A and B are shown apart, each in its own frame.
Chain A
Amino acid sequence: MSLLSVEGLTVALPPGGDRADAIEDVSFSVDAGEILCVVGESGSGKSITANAVMGLLPKGLPVRAGAIAFEGTDLLRLGAEPMRKLRGQRLAMIFQEPMTALNPLMRVGDQIAEVLQVHGAAADAARRVPELLAAVNLPDPAAIARSHPFRLSGGQRQRVMIAMALALEPALLIADEPTTALDVTTQMQILRLIREIQSRRGMGVLFITHDFGVVAEIADRVAVMQHGRIVEQGPAAEVLNAPQHPYTRGLIAAVPHGAAPERAAITGEEVLRVTDIAKTYRRGGIFGAKAVVRAVHDADFTLKRGETLGLVGESGSGKSTLARCVVKLVTPEQGEIAYDGTNLRLLSRAAWKPYRQRIQMIFQDPYASLNPRRTVGDTIAEGPVTHGTPRAEALGRARELLRLVQLDAGAMDRYPHEFSGGQRQRIGIARALAMRPDLLIADEPVSALDVSVQAQVLALLAEIKARLGLTMLFITHDLRVAAQICDRVAVMQRGAIVEQGPTRQVFSAPQHAYTRQLLDSIPGRGWTPPQL
């Protein structure tokens, strides 16, 4: 008998949704000592599945049909009280967002002890809490137990969450995208930790993720979800290397493969040279301690015409700040940003204006980067109109650009909220291209998108860049994306570029220890997606 078996589970969506059921006829099982990964894009119903098992579905989403058997008990027929006993003790869950999942006013140790207390094991708390913190590889467990959550990093908090989930040695752990909010190096540590604890204790794990790299890293078996249905499931090696269903094949084909192809060195003239840039943030005023953050320092780089330079690094490494310095969204205190020989840093707002046409930017969050009160056509035409193009001509060009980014011309008079994330990102690209720039700065343009949409947008960027002969500064935290699109990469850590060179060289023979660490942390680096 399986530890958990879900049979024909159907959960209804409230009327008026985009489909009748959130999940439909979902069946799978998890054995003790096994990791089942449920993969799917946003809206596929994977989190609903996890919440249904935990009995955490909101009222608006009733279970229509099916059964969830856990150690032989049907969870759907269980009353609230027995379910509460089971939760935490036999079934545990960890969530995506470690920054908000802990009570900010309670010491970490007390929060773990509370779990034990609720289930009547308070006597053991003093002994078990440090043990648990040690089990999730946190250094100095005694000190961590006394800290409040705000003192811990995202990765440390996620470890604490895992320690809480493990406190009562559950038989089944449900992990809902537990590493999505974390940096790659931290993600790898957490994945290893989950794997290690799972094999040590023989737990069953239901792991929800959207990332095939993570699947390759951790899964024993895989279930692929699309539109609320499981379209394919089987052993990890089989699904990853010989996918059968067209949707799975499409998803796996869209995964950036992480191997940098051989590229000819770019030999154009120099377009941009950034030297000695420094940006320091100071916090705190007359009272209280001053905090000084050196956001960018020692970050010199050059860009040649037609080249794509990738700035890679983890969150807080200063890569976005550096890119924003180039377009003067952030003003650095010193240094030189030489564009075609002019130092842009010293220019006034008015003197900068002509350069706005030549340097454009694509933003990260497709939901925040378009003005919600302006039509798509106006959004795209706005830049040229600002620089003196007659409105009719600018709108005509906007229509052409929509075609270039593969959107319908009917989009002109609609508002951004009517479009999906991928479509909005195309609109953002069209807005940047409307200025006919020759330098394009892309700040994590695909990190908020699903993997299949991400592949389309990357392909679009590559095509446009080749067709228009653009030079590009591409900021990303995803090394697999960088490998695919960049001619050269510069690795940033704590505000400084620690290594730069041709992509292939950096990926195959990294010089700096941090680069090696980053490369080792790419999830699923041992797996090469099959050519489909």
Chain B
Amino acid sequence: MPAFTVKDFWRRYRRNKGAVVGLVVLLLVMLMAATAPWLFPGSPWDMASAPFLPPGEMGMLLGTDSLGRDVAAGIAHGARISLLVGAVSTAAALLVGVTLGAIAGYLGGFADDAIMRFTEFFQTIPSFVLAILLVAIFTPSIGSVVFAIAVVSWPPVARVVRAEFLSLRGREFVQAAEVLGKSRVSIVLTDILPNALSPIVVLSSLMVATAILLESALSFLGLGDPNLMTWGFLIGSGRSVIRLAWWMSVFPGIAIFLTVLALNLVGEGLSDALNPRLARQRGGAA
């Protein structure tokens, strides 16, 4: 595996055109989230115009909902929550998953068995049902939604990290570190983890996408934070009037679709750029 240099990385990343498009879309969504308070000043919950205005009428770009709220404002402000939930829950899941996976993979033996059985326990429960259950128990709030998503998405991380650690643990440079007398913590942090980063990075971009979908699904079911405007909530509230006002559900739906697609494309691009050997095997050399 060649050493990581930013220039090489970017050159390989650019080869995948889809990934570049994904990155651009993702940056646009981030920009929209960042500028929402200026683009759409005031609360997205406030009435902006007459109810049920179709897109384009009376200066309402994407129309208004049943209470006259601006759909475009809802989408822009919702992007903040979606991205925030995606990022924070992924970070929390990574923290738990990487820690447990690293311990299991590095120590092996009994610790490995115990941690893996614990992981399988979570994997046997359908993740969405578990997430609903957790949010319902802890009452819907942004904190409980993030917590629930993190709880259901760490097990795959733990498995991937464990597999990487298992194979790296036996490599000679890790044995050399052992012979130098380095402590276990320092071997894990400075020798094994940097070499296991590529799959973790790729996996985490996909996890952000999944987290956004999960958050939307929870909000759709009315389990989102009642004080925060989210994409899932927009679709949920538009559901009952979909034949009357299609724009209320379709535009938030497109926002979710584009963001998740962009994250997946970025994930694939990262995977190509971080594993050049695999990318070439797939015939992506052109």
| A→B interface (CB under 8 Å) | 324, 327, 329, 349, 352-353, 356-357, 359-361, 363-365, 368-374, 382-383, 386-387, 415-417, 428, 431, 435
Contacts and interface: CB of A to CB of B under 8 A. Distances in A.
B172 A365 contact: yes
Contacts of A370: 173, 176
A369 B173 contact: yes
B4 interface: yes
Given A363-B172, A386-B186, A372 B3 contact: yes
A369 B172 contact: yes
A121 B181 CA distance: 63
B182 interface: yes
B176 A386 contact: no
A417 B179 contact: no
Contacts of B195: 371-373
A417 B180 contact: no
Contacts of B184: 349
Contact of A356 (B173, B181, B194): B181
B2 A431 contact: no
Interface centre among B1, B3, B190 (most CB of A within 10 A): B3
Contacts of B4: 373
B88 to A, nearest CB: 28
A324 B176 CA distance: 11
Contact of A363 (B2, B175, B186): B175
A387 B179 contact: no
A372 B2 contact: yes
Contacts of B3: 372-373, 415-417
A416 B173 CA distance: 11
Interface of B: 1-4, 171-173, 175-184, 186, 190-191, 194-195
A371 B180 contact: no
7 contacts: A324-B175, A370-B173, A371-B195, A373-B195, A382-B180, A417-B3, A431-B180
A363 B182 contact: no
Contacts of A374: 190
Interface centre among B181, B190, B195 (most CB of A within 10 A): B181
Given A361-B176, A364-B172, A386-B186, A352 B2 contact: no
Given A372-B1, A373-B3, A431 B176 contact: yes
Contacts of B173: 368-372
B175 A329 contact: yes
Contacts, number: 68
Given A368-B173, A369-B172, A371-B173, A329 B181 contact: no
Chain B interface helix/strand/loop/mixed: helix
Nearest to B1: A372
A391 to B, nearest CB: 14
Contacts of B1: 372, 417
A417 B5 CA distance: 12
Given A373-B194, A373-B195, A357 B176 contact: no
Contacts of A324: 175
A369 B176 contact: yes
B181 A386 contact: yes
A360 B1 CA distance: 26
A356 B172 contact: no
B179 A361 contact: yes
A368 B180 contact: no
Contacts of A361: 175-176, 179
8 tightest A-B CB contacts, nearest first: A356-B181, A369-B172, A415-B3, A383-B180, A363-B172, A368-B172, A373-B194, A371-B173
Given A349-B184, A356-B179, A373-B4, 17 more contacts: A324-B175, A329-B175, A329-B178, A356-B181, A363-B176, A364-B172, A371-B194, A372-B1, A372-B3, A372-B195, A382-B177, A386-B181, A387-B181, A415-B3, A416-B3, A417-B2, A417-B3
A157 B179 CA distance: 37
A486 B3 CA distance: 37
B109 to A, nearest CB: 12
A327 B176 CA distance: 10
A415 B184 CA distance: 24
A356 B183 CA distance: 12
Contacts of A383: 180-181
Contacts of B183: 386
Contact of B191 (A359, A371, A387): A371
Nearest to A417: B2
A252 to B, nearest CB: 31
Nearest to B173: A371
Contacts of B2: 372, 415, 417
A15 to B, nearest CB: 14
A383 B191 CA distance: 13
B165 to A, nearest CB: 15
A353 B176 CA distance: 14
A365 B176 CA distance: 12
A378 to B, nearest CB: 9
B111 to A, nearest CB: 15
B181 A352 contact: yes
A365 B172 CA distance: 8
A325 to B, nearest CB: 13
Nearest to A443: B172
Contacts of B172: 363-365, 368-369
Contacts of A372: 1-3, 173, 195
A444 to B, nearest CB: 11
B121 to A, nearest CB: 20
Contacts of A416: 3
A329 B179 contact: yes
B273 to A, nearest CB: 16
B17 to A, nearest CB: 23
Nearest to A371: B173
Contacts of B176: 361, 363, 369-370, 428, 431
B181 A353 contact: yes
